[in-house]
Amino acid sequence: MQTSNEDGYELWLCYRRVENDERLAQYRAAINSIVVLSTSATATIIKNELARALPALLDRNVPFADKSVGNALIVGTVDEVARAPLTLTLFPFGEREHTPSPWKGEGWGEGGFSIHSQQIANNSFIVIAANSAPAVLPSVFHFLRLLQTQQDIRTLNIESRPRIRYRILAHWDNLDGSIERGYAGRSLWNWDELPDKIDARYHDYACACASIGINGACLNNVNANAQSLTTEYLEKTAALADVFRPYGIRVYLSPKFTAPVHLGGLSTSDPRDAKVAAWWKQKVAEIYRLIPDFGGFQVKANSEGQPGPQDNGANHDDGANMLAYALAVHGGILLWRAFVYDTSVDADRANCANKEFVPLDGKFHPNVLIQAKNGPIDFQPREPFHPLFGAMPQTPLALELQITQEYFGQSKHLVYLGGMWQEVLHSDTYAQGAGSTVAKIVSAPSNSCIVGVANTGTDRNWCGHHFSQANWYAFGRLAWDYELRADAIADEWIRMMWSNDSDVVDTLKQMMLGSWEACVNYMTPLGLHHLMKEHHHYGPDPGFNNAPRPDWNNVYYHRADANGLGFDRSHTGSNNVAMYHSPLREQFDNIETCPEKYLLWFPDSLTNLIKAA
């Protein structure tokens, strides 16, 4: 169990002696030695982690060996396992009920893996393998998770592969070390010291991400500074990419759309201008010379004062495609954020993104993903799912979630967000009939993507609040497999982070699982949202009405007066309900059928109830 002076630095990777004596005996019998079938940089990381974890968990030394003599843990890629001097056979995906056949790793893709028990004569083996070295690393962490949570490992037949291809942490970190919506200290990236000095914490960050299957990190704020694309800063970014690469993590950047003007001396950033396109092509080529596995760009354009193609009379597809063409030849993707809410387009901010993007469906280059927040407003404690999901069938959509607790009491409140994300992912859009969930829409294309706005910082415990670490963990686990249950993820995290004692697990899980609904009830009851203080978004201020534009005022959303309160998004109001597919649009439009949690979001319900009374 955690000691009273636990500082949280080790996150969920704190390895302590297995307290269950029966399980401990089982683990000791199964793992007498470790064979890592590689000498790659990733294999070194694996060896170091196993050397740290297994002696602590098993309370005894576990030696490494060049070859197995039985009762061993064997780790390697598919090819390495095939070359090993062992008569091992494993179940490939789809053949679990058939006679074991030589394992080929078919159907596993980039990240899939197997953990499989095998008995040969009187010797037992546990074989962990995947198609590539970076994919082996998450599988090792999965195995260690079994030990940390004291699972039975006698007959393992685990097959796992990520349901979403790109699983990215987006850091809203600025080059000066500050973090927009950061509540855990300063930025992890010491830009002034890079590329010469590599902080050991970069490795620890990458290790934590790899342990939960995160495979991408966008390093800078979406409210971007053009300086991040200078050669000086690209060399700094390349140093971080070198650290992250063996962990299977690619780096991404958020570029400023007007960088050709700021850095290239051009008179315009119009994406239709050949000189602008040529500048971006050259800049992207420079990035890939320095970072061959660069992931791509995440772009915030024509939103909240950020420049974009519309400043020059072009549109989102013009700007996105121009950048996408430059990235495509190198294998990069473009994440174009749909967080736009120009109320000259529609007086209801919740309608704006659909009105701007739906007409462009099918016009984007194949490596463009439109990145939409989970709800149509702005990461509120509860929102209905964003109506863009299900409205753009010819365009890949990336789901953006916010791990950092901007509207959830920040690092001062315990709010576990696994249940919120589960609700969003499992929401049925009915776009192709029943069963068209947000998760299935996001995971359908081959370049599927989910993005989480990170909550990390330089605080010793990484996230400002020990329990905020659970949201980083839950994001990674759900990004890997959105069918996992929020309560099961919480159970895992508690057992890994705190203790396997049933009293501890039951007590902490009850706190965590009730925290989101409690937060909703006192911050955004019945869908009544935007009641928080302006600018810092901590604490209540429902009467705020001094912003420079109407939709930045709290009263714009709750519209409280003598007759009632709530935003009328029914067919008699902004008609936001029409952006949802049947039967949802009819359900949301009717005061009698609208779910209670959205009563003040869709129908002008409380006003009507008062009038009816």
304 catalytic residue (yes or no): yes
Tally: H helices and E strands in the chain: 18, 13
Non-local (6+) Cβ contacts of 270 within 8 A are: 276, 309, 312, 313, 314
With CA atoms as reference, report the closest residue to 439 among 472, 495, 409, 401.
401
Catalytic residue among 7, 192, 193, 304: 304
With CA atoms as reference, report the closest residue to 469 among 1, 12, 3.
12
Strands 113-120 and 123-130: antiparallel
Asked if 194 and 270 touch (Cβ cutoff 8 Å), the reply is no
Distances in Å between the Cα of 391 and the Cα atoms of 70, 216, 352 are: 55, 27, 13
In angstroms, the CA 385 to CA 374 distance is: 6
Q: Supply 59's token pair.
A: 């309370």
Q: Supply 29's token pair.
A: 């019998």
In angstroms, the CA 163 to CA 215 distance is: 13
In angstroms, the CA 489 to CA 421 distance is: 12
With CA atoms as reference, report the closest residue to 430 among 380, 395, 384.
384
- Name the DSSP letter for residue 444: S
Non-local (6+) Cβ contacts of 189 within 8 A are: 171, 173, 177, 219, 240
Strand intervals (E) in 275-355: 296-299, 333-337
Fill in the amino acid letter for 418: G
Catalytic residue among 406, 459, 492, 568: 406
Residue 95 has a CB neighbour count (10 Å cut-off) of 15
Fill in the amino acid letter for 328: A
In angstroms, the CA 210 to CA 559 distance is: 45
What does 350-375 look like in DSSP terms, one character per residue?
A: HHHHHHHHGGGTT-S-TTEEEEEESS
Catalytic residue among 204, 361, 378, 517: 378
Phi/psi for 204 (5° steps) reads -65, -35
- CA dihedral in degrees (409, 412, 418, 423; nearest 10)? -10
406 catalytic residue (yes or no): yes
With CA atoms as reference, report the closest residue to 323 among 314, 338, 334.
334
- Name the DSSP letter for residue 434: T
In angstroms, the CA 337 to CA 20 distance is: 48
Q: Supply 493's token pair.
A: 């995290």
Q: What share of the chain is helix, strand, coil (3-state, %, to 5)?
A: 40, 15, 50
Asked if 100 and 119 touch (Cβ cutoff 8 Å), the reply is no
Q: Which are the catalytic amino acids?
A: 304, 378, 406
